[in-house]
Structure 1
Amino acid sequence: MSSAMLREVVSEDHLDGLDELRYQLLRISTSGELDDDQRELLKRALEAASILDDFPEYFYIKDRRSRYVYVNAATAAASSSYANGGMLGTTIFDHIRLEKAEEIFMLEQQLMSVGTGVVEREEFIEVLDRDPVWLLTTKTPLHNAAGEVIGLIGVSRDITERKRQEELRRCHATLLEMIARGQPLPKVLDALTHLVEQQLSDVCASVLLIEEGSDRLRHGAAPSLPDTYVKLIDGIEIGPRTGSCGTAAWRQSRVVVSDIENDPLWHSFADLALVFGFRACWSNPIMAPDGEVLGTVALYARTVREPTAVELELMAVATDIAGIAIERARSEERIRHMAHHDALTGLPNRALFWTQFNRVLLEAKRTKAKVTVAYIDLDNFKQINDRFGHAAGDEVLKVLAGRMAACVRASDLLVRLGGDEFAIVFPNSFQDEPGIVRRLQELRMAVSSPVTVEDHTIRPSCSMGAAFFPQDGDTPEALLASADRAMYEAKELGRDRLRVSHSLLMDGSGI
Structure 2
Amino acid sequence: MQNFSEQSGSCLSNILDNLDCTDLLHSLDGGVLLLDAQCRIIFCNRWFSRHTGLKEASMLGKTLPELYPEQLPLPLQDALETGCRQRMGRILSYQLHKRLLPLQRRTPRGELQPLHQSILIKPLSQSELTLVQCLDITNAVKREQHLRAGERILKLERTVLELIATGDALDNVLNEICNTVEQLIPHAPSAIMLLDDERELLHIKSAPSLPSAFMQREPGLNINTAATTCTRAVQTRALAITADIHQDDSWQPRREMAQRLQMAACWAQPIIAAFDEVIGVFACYPQTPHSPNEFERQLLQRMAHLAAIAMERHRRVERIRFLAMHDPLTGLPNRSLLNEHLGRNLRRAHREGNQFALMFIDLDGFKQINDQHGHDAGDDLLSVLGSRMTEQLRGTDTCARIGGDEFVVMLETVHSVDSATQVAEKILSCLSAPVQRGQQQLKVSASIGIAIYPDDGTSADALLTGADDAMYQAKAKGKNCWYRFN
Note whether the superposition's TM-score is higher than 0.5. Answer: yes
Matching residue within 313, 320, 338 for 1:328: 313
Structure 2 contact 120–133 (Cα < 8 Å) conserved: yes
Corresponding residue number in structure 2 for 1:248: 233
The amino acid of 1:447's aligned partner reads L
Distance 1:80 1:230, change over 3 A: farther
Q: Tell me the distance in 2 between the aligned counterparts of 1:59 and 1:461.
A: 99
> Are the structure 2 counterparts of residues 338 and 90 from structure 1 closer, same or farther at C-alpha, using a change threshold of 3 Å?
farther
Give a deviation string over 1:340-393, Cα, whole Å, max 9, x none: 222322222222222221111111112221121111122343443344333333
- Give the aligned residue type for 1:497: C
Return closer, same or farther for 1:330/1:166 CA change in 2, 3 Å cut-off.
farther
Q: Which residue of 2 aligns with 1:5?
A: none
Which shows bigger deviation, 70-79 or 480-489? 70-79
Match of 1:178 in 2: 160
Alignment of 1:451-466 (within 5 A): 451-466=435-450
2:482 counterpart (498, 504, 510)? 498
Aligned residues of 1:240 and 1:247 also touching (Cα < 8 A): no
Identity %: 26
Equivalent in 403, 411, 414 of residue 388 of structure 2: 403
| Conserved 8 A contact 1:95-1:127 | no
User: 2:432: which partner in 1?
Assistant: 448
Q: State the alpha-carbon separation in 2 of the partners of residues 163 and 318 from structure 1.
A: 19
When the two structures are superposed, what TM-score results if normalisation uses the length of structure 1? 0.69
Change beyond 3 A, Cα 1:357–1:81: farther
Task: Within 5 Å, give how 1:15-34 maps onto structure 2.
Answer: none
Give the match for residue 428 of structure 1: 413
1:348 aligns with 2:333: yes
Per the normalisation by structure 2, the TM-score is: 0.72
The letter for the 1-side match of 2:452 is F
Of 211, 215, 220, the match for 2:200: 215
Distance in 1 (alpha carbons) for counterparts of 2:309 and 2:28: 44
Aligned to 1:319: 304
Counterparts of 2:41 and 2:339 in 1: how far apart (Å)? 79
SS at match of 1:495: coil
Q: Distance in 1 between matches of 2:205 and 2:381?
A: 40
Tell me if the contact between 2:267 and 2:284 (Cα under 8 Å) persists in the aligned partners. yes
Q: Give a deviation string over 1:173-222, Cα, whole Å, max 9, x none.
A: 42454244233333333333333344335644333222334622222333
CA distance change for structure 1 residues 196 and 423 in 2, over 3 Å: closer, same or farther? same
Q: Give the Cα–Cα distance (whole angstroms) in 1 for the partners of residues 429 and 223 of structure 2.
A: 42
Partner of 2:266: 281
- In structure 2, the CA distance between the partners of 1:80 and 1:51, relative to structure 1 (3 Å rule), is closer
- Displacement, 1:480? 0.8
1:369 corresponds to: 354
Query: Matches of residues 47-446 of structure 1 in structure 2 within 5 Å?
Result: 157-158=137-138, 159-175=141-157, 177-182=159-164, 183-200=168-185, 203-213=188-198, 215-258=200-243, 260=245, 263=248, 265-266=250-251, 269-273=253-257, 275-276=259-260, 278=263, 280-300=265-285, 307-310=291-294, 311-432=296-417, 434-446=418-430
State the aligned residue count: 465
Q: C-alpha separation between the residues in 2 aligned to 1:126 and 1:461?
A: 89
In structure 1, runs of 5+ residues without a counterpart are 1-18, 108-114, 503-511
1:255–1:284 CA contact under 8 A, matched in 2: yes
C-alpha change, 1:190 and 1:430, in structure 2 (3 Å) is same
Change (3 A) 1:470 1:225: closer
Q: For residue 493 of structure 1, report the CA deviation from its aligned partner.
A: 3.9
- Aligned CA distance change for structure 1 residues 161 and 420 (closer, same or farther; 3 Å): farther
Instruction: Report SS of the residue matched to 2:333.
Output: coil
The Cα shift of 1:419 comes to 2.8
Q: Is the 8 A contact 1:135 1:160 kept in 2?
A: no
Report the alpha carbon displacement of residue 406 of structure 1 after superposing the two structures with TM: 0.7
For the structure 1 residues 126 and 172, does the alpha-carbon distance in structure 2 shift closer, same or farther, using more than 3 Å as the test? farther
| Letter matched to residue 408 of structure 1 | L
CA deviations over 1:41-75 (Å, ceiling 9, x no partner) = 9999xx999699877x999999xxx9999999989
Cα distance change of structure 1 residues 262 and 134 upon mapping to structure 2, 3 Å threshold: closer
Contact 2:245/2:255 (8 A) holds in 1:
no
2:461 corresponds, among 477, 482, 496, to 477
CA contact (8 A) 1:217 1:237 kept: yes
Give the superposed CA RMSD: 5.0
Query: Cα–Cα, structure 1 residues 162 and 448, in superposed 2: closer, same or farther, change >3 Å?
Result: farther
